[in-house]
Structure 1
Amino acid sequence: MPKPSVAELRPVVHPDGVKDRRSGEHWAGRMYMREISLHCDPYLVNTRITPNQLTYLMIVAGILAGAALLVPGLIGAVLGAVLIQLYLLLDCVDGEVARWRKQTSITGVYLDRVGHYLSEAALLVGAGMRAADLFHKDGGGTHWEWAFIGTLAALGAILIKAETDLVDVARARSGLPAVKDEAAAPRSSGLALARKAAAALKFHRLVGGVEASLMILVAGIADYIHGDLLFTRIAVAALAAIALLQTLLHLVSVLASSRLR
């Protein structure tokens, strides 16, 4: 079977609206990764690799990104960031291959969501373990409190996603259709203003896999220059604070909107 061209693939794997989804498309996907994935698709669509197998590879890449942070020094932070980019690439490719082959499925959507939960949690736990200094670079013992703080950040990241996904669960169990984007607007004008301010600052994005990996990489570079783990610990503390605050704010946002009506 001849390999399809990028021009043939584009209208099928990137249908109108894919890059414009309010909450379903990452900024990195819109900026560059969708174009990279589009040029990878011709080498995959005629192989025996299934879309779900690509999703499994995405999950493995995400979990390995968290494990890579246990590698001491700057190389661990670099590996973590690179593996998260691979995770993002596979996250784009699996759906594109599924659309080309007309093999989209509920199982694929489910695995994709599980992958995001596991991968982002693994990255934040890995960051906490890195900050704990398992190899005692600072001359002291392992600082397990940092591993706990990283785990709190991971828990917050998972809860934020769960709060969003559970809206659909609650609606489905109540016999209601899927929520529309306009229902996300808070009914209170004060909360609407606060939501706009939070959206403008975009601080909540920092606990996402791509953003967190880049933050940890920058901290790793600063640590390499400074000679300790000070900046990684600052990053882990900030990520935990943001994740826990966003968990609360997102819950209030859901309850104050029309998503559950």
Structure 2
Amino acid sequence: MSAPSVAELRAVAQPQTTMDRRSGEHWAGLLYMRKLSIYATWVLAKTPISPNQVTGLMIVCGVLAGAVLAIPGFWAAVGAALLIQVYLLLDCSDGELARWTGRTSIAGVYLDRVGHYLAEAALLIGLGFRASQVLPDWYTVLGVAAALGAILIKAETDLVDVARARSGLTAATDASAGHFQSRRLGAARKVAAALRFHRVIQAVELSLIVVVAAVLDFWFPATRILTVACAVIAGLQLVLHLVSILASRRLS
């Protein structure tokens, strides 16, 4: 396939259905990364690399960010944040390259989900080791607990489609996710969504917060406070998310 122009690539790789979708698109992607990723995809389109191989690189960057974060010091936090930005860039480009080359696949979707699981878990585990500073202690345990919570929250979402598929139903829509049988629960979900506290344990947001915490560590143990907060938020969100799913129309 001949090398496309950026405009030709954007028309196919970034269709309006992708750019307008309510879920499945990170705010950072819409804000700035999709503007950058199209150029990375343009370069990748000139190489023999496959979309799934790009996803593999994405996974490596996400896991490596967690390993780097475990290293004490300010610059390790900055390095982890930069690796997460590369992870986000590749997360955008793998799908764009798949759409351009026509090599979309179920395996690609699966690998993408695995990458998100691994990156968020690795970053939270890295945070726990970072808070421990020298030897593993209770902060390490809290980091691992937060990572487990983050994985289970994602599993709760993915298991909706598993349950629907096994019942002969199609995948849940955004409309069903926001439609609750109880008005009070619907109102509570809107309040929780507005507060955005669940984003603290997501990879992009957490990597940026960690850099701020690394600066504040010069005056007080901000990283340790953040680790405790992540464990609490993960546990709370795990329960609230389950209640939200069971109370919505997604399972009917």
Rounded to whole Å, the distance in 2 between the matches of 1:35 and 1:102 is 21
Contact 1:19 1:29 in 2 (8 A): no
Asked if 1 retains the 8 angstrom alpha-carbon contact of 2:44 and 2:97, the reply is yes
Aligned partner of residue 19 in structure 2, secondary structure: coil
Within 5 A, what are the aligned runs for 1:1-261? 2-134=2-134, 142=135, 144-184=137-177, 185-223=179-217, 225-226=218-219, 230-261=221-252
What amino acid is the match of 1:64? L
Which whole-Å CA distance do the structure 2 matches of 1:209 and 1:72 have between them? 19
Cα deviation for residue 70 of structure 1 reads 2.0
Q: Give aligned pairs, total.
A: 251
Residues 54 and 90 in structure 2, CA contact (< 8 A), matched pair in contact too: yes
How far the C-alpha of 1:143 sits from its partner, in A, is 5.3
Instruction: Name the % identity.
Output: 60
Q: Aligned AA for 1:164?
A: T
Deviation at 1:3, TM superposition (A): 2.6
2:207, 2:13 → 1: CA distance? Answer: 27
Query: In the aligned structure 1, how far is the partner of 2:228 from the partner of 2:21?
Result: 31
- State the SS of the aligned residue for 2:250: coil
Structure 1 stretches of 5 or more lacking a match?
135-141
Aligned-CA RMSD value: 1.1
Shift of 1:72: 1.8
| Cα deviations by residue, 1:15-68 (Å, 9 ceiling, x for unpaired) | 112122222000000000011001111111131100000000000000000000
Structure 2 gaps of 5+ residues are none
Render the CA deviation track for 1:90-115: whole Å, top value 9, x for unaligned.
Answer: 00010000000000000000000000
1:204 maps to a residue whose letter is H
Match in the other structure for 1:139:
none
- TM-aligned CA deviation for residue 5 of structure 1: 1.4
Distance 1:111 1:2 in 2: 27
SS of the residue corresponding to residue 18 of structure 1 reads helix
Aligned residue identity for 2:92: C
What secondary structure, in the 3-state scheme, does the structure 2 residue paired with 1:120 have?
A: helix
Counterparts of 2:229 and 2:18, CA distance in 1: 32
SS in structure 2 at match of 1:4: coil
Partner of 1:138: none
Given residue 189 of structure 1, which amino acid in structure 2 is its aligned partner?
Answer: R
**Distance in 2, Cα, partners of 1:55 & 1:143:** 31
**Comparing 178-187 and 46-55, the one that deviates more:** 178-187
Superposition deviation, residue 187 in structure 1: 1.1
When normalised by structure 1's length, the TM-score is 0.94
Residue 254 (structure 1) shift: 0.2
Q: Is the 8 A contact 1:57 1:90 kept in 2?
A: yes
